[in-house]
Structure 1
Amino acid sequence: MPSYQPGTLPWCEQTSTLTLPLPAIFNYEHNLGYLSRSTNECLFHVDNSDIYKLLPVGDNLVLIAVNSPDNKELHIRILSGPEDLSSPLLHEAIARYVWGWFDLETDLAPFYELAGGDPLLSRVTQDFYGLRLLGIPDLFEAMSWGIIGQQINLTFAYTLKRRLVEAYGTPLTWQDRTYWAFPAPGRIAGLAPEALTALQFTGKKAEYLIGIARLMAEGTLNLEALLERGDYGAMEQELLSIRGIGPWTANYVLMRCLRNPAAFPIADVGLHNALKHVLGLEAKPTLPEIRRLAGGWKGWEAYATFYLWRVLY
């Protein structure tokens, strides 16, 4: 689990620029390639080598641009925000978010050692050397994206996410482009399911999303309390106790938000298609076959899954 604590992250600051040191195993282009996989992404914008993202920081919206010219440092420019762009608290919040987003805490050397001896992972880790498991630091966004993606293709999932964000998220316009922050739980908690079915959510998904938003808005469910458990099994059980969260969604959230390297969404269709492609099979492997293939990934199932997803884009 990430050991980052407030005030301990190594970073330099200027009035409107932060610089984060990067781990040895990092390749910006491969991470940028993953983030560029959909032209319908609405929560960040990729322009050449810059990644633009709108972050809610306290009561403010902050627009940042991220880049790395040398794979040694990650440069973060603060483009729009509160009046005092040099605030240490503002810089701390931005640095914390980006640190988690790019999973910069994780030492990938053990994963690469494991992958080097694995016939499925050795080639894909060479092809995408330095790819990090790009995360979703916001728990409500991660859970919402997991619910949105249940039993539909990725293209339509992006369409539903855009509809939700543009209907209930928060916009900021900068230099003639509008950027969006994901809806706050309180905004969704007060909706009736019909508000979401009008966007083509199924009735069940609408109920699930509103139910989770209510849990978070009332404080029953929050990221800090989950992480304080310190045990991924306990986190998974708590997630599974929530209506609409099954094993696939729970492991997706553990993987992308709670940062469990052993999280394994084994029922994921994308993983099945990737394995079919890498193995040159005529049909997707069965769950028992996947368990056998993944026998050597223990402790790194999340990263193995993420790298295999990458071969599809």
Structure 2
Amino acid sequence: MSRHAAIALPAGYRHADAFTFHGRDADALAESVDTHTGRIRKGVLLDGVPAVLDITLHADRAECVVASDGTVADDAVHDALVNMLGLRIDPAPFERAMRDDPLFGPVVARQPGLRVIQSATVFEALTWAIIGQQINLPFAIALRRTFIGLAGRAHSGGLWCYPEAADVARLDIEQLTSRKFSGAKAETLLRFARLVADGALSLARASDAADVSERLLAVKGIGPWTVNYGLLRGWGYADCSLHGDVAVRNAIGRLRGTERPDMRAAEAFLATYRPHRTMAAAYLWASLGQPAG
């Protein structure tokens, strides 16, 4: 089945943010990016149906051809598109608040309109956070690729689709540990997926951030960093504290011209930027690619 969807893009939308996030895996198992044509192709299971979202970014809109191997609800497609395009958090309030900030002001001025691009689904964001815990990015991307190959499903067009909870819940731990997943990481992934698949853990988008955090922290193997990263990349909450992220703490030290702060000091630093801590983290990450000073 094939149909079209479209979504408006705000003025000054930064196409490169979306291209960079969705083009991290050079092997392009489940996503492919072509910056020359402005296309992003993403394979994802939506309500159990393999679907490919073929998105073309224009100056003022994103046009998407949805090719699905069954019926997919319009709401599910729209939800995935809003996430993938980073449209849940408006960067303008943070930019206005930081105009005269001695640390963030210059960083924001160099990259106005920076957006927090998200995973297509909340489940994808949280499993990606679990996979990426305490390992470097290239290894995390390789594990993610393995994970998709084990639990995902191939779309009829050839692109693989990121799995849903029920697909992951069917895995045996040995299928993961035999492919370079640590025992603890594999156990956490399966425990989390089975709770979601059984309906014991809701990932409803309408949930309150505090309720989400409490539910997730009750899952063995999921800590504050994973929760905040999931809130950021999955739900699109605007006030996530990424004080546990090493890159965020490196960026804080770099901007301040000091040593990297510990987690408690970083948490206190970020607290002064409420209710915009998600955008603060985004700009801290971005600052690492900018000249110092």
Check if 1:167 corresponds to 2:150.
yes
User: Which amino acid in structure 1 is aligned with residue 189 of structure 2?
Assistant: L
* 8 A Cα contact 2:31 2:40, kept in partner: yes
Pair 110,138 (structure 1): closer, same or farther in 2 beyond 3 Å: same
Letter of the 1:93 partner, please give it.
A
Shift in alpha-carbon separation, 1:113–1:259, aligned structure 2, 3 A: same
Alpha-carbon distance between aligned partners in 2 of 1:257 and 1:195, rounded to the nearest angstrom: 26
Q: What secondary structure, in the 3-state scheme, does the structure 1 residue paired with 2:155 have? A: strand
Residues 261 and 154 of structure 1, relative CA distance in 2, 3 Å threshold: same
Partner Cα distance (1:131, 1:251) in 2: 19
C-alpha spacing 1:37/1:131, structure 2 compared with 1 (3 Å) = farther
1:154-303 equivalences under 5 Å are 154-172=137-155, 174=157, 178-224=158-204, 227-229=205-207, 231-281=208-258, 283-303=259-279
Q: What is the Cα deviation at residue 132 of structure 1? A: 1.7
Aligned-residue identity in percent: 29
CA distance in 1, matches of 2:262, 2:12: 33
Contact 1:255 1:264 in 2 (8 A): no
Residues 41 and 127 from structure 1, CA distance in 2 versus in 1: closer, same or farther, beyond 3 angstroms?
farther
* 1:138 aligned onto 2:127: no
Q: What is the Cα deviation at residue 93 of structure 1?
A: 2.9
Give the structure 1 partner of residue 100 of structure 2. 117
TM-score by length of 2: 0.87
SS at match of 1:223: coil
Give, in angstroms, the shift of residue 114 of structure 1.
1.6
Unaligned runs of 5+ in 1: 1-14
Q: Distance in 2 between matches of 1:57 and 1:203?
A: 29
CA deviations 1:9-43 (Å, max 9, x no partner) are xxxxxx84322112235222333234334535643
Q: Which residue of 2 aligns with 1:128?
A: 111
Deviation at residue 59 of structure 1 after TM alignment: 4.3
Choose from 26, 32, 36 the match for 2:13: 26
Q: Could you give the per-residue CA deviations for residues 209-233 of structure 1, whole angstroms, max 9, x where no partner exists? A: 1111111111111222xx444x322
Structure 1 CA distance, aligned partners of 2:25 and 2:255?
A: 22
Q: Which sections of structure 2, spanning at least 5 residues, go unmatched?
A: none
77, 89, 98: which is aligned to 2:65?
A: 77
How many equivalent pairs are there? 286
Which position in structure 2 is the counterpart of 1:9? none
CA distance in 2, matches of 1:153, 1:197: 18
TM-score, scaled to structure 1:
0.81
Cα deviation for residue 208 of structure 1 reads: 0.8
* Runs of 4+ in structure 1 over 6 Å off: none
Classify the secondary structure of the residue corresponding to 1:263: coil
User: 256-265 or 130-139: which moved more?
Assistant: 130-139
**Does the C-alpha gap of structure 1 residues 102 and 69 become closer, same or farther in structure 2, counting only changes over 3 Å?**
closer
CA deviation vs aligned residue, 1:172-206 (integer Å, no higher than 9, x gap): 253xxx42212222222233322210011111111
Aligned Cα root-mean-square deviation (Å)? 2.5
**Bigger mean CA offset, 100-109 vs 266-275:** 100-109
Equivalent in 30, 39, 55 of residue 50 of structure 1: 39
* Aligned mates of 2:70, 2:188 — CA distance in 1: 38
**Equivalent residues of 2:89, 2:237 under 8 A apart:** no
Task: In structure 1, give the amino acid aligned to 2:112.
Answer: Y
Displacement after TM superposition at 1:96 (Å): 2.5
Q: In 2, are the aligned partners of 1:26 and 1:129 still within 8 Å (CA)?
A: no
Contact 2:169–2:193 at 8 Å: present in 1 too?
Answer: yes
SS in 1 for 2:5: strand
SS in 1 for 2:55: strand
* Whole-angstrom distance in 1 between the partners of 2:263 and 2:70: 54
The alpha carbon displacement at 1:97 in A equals 1.5
Matched, 1:307 2:283: yes
Displacement of 1:290 after TM fit?
2.3
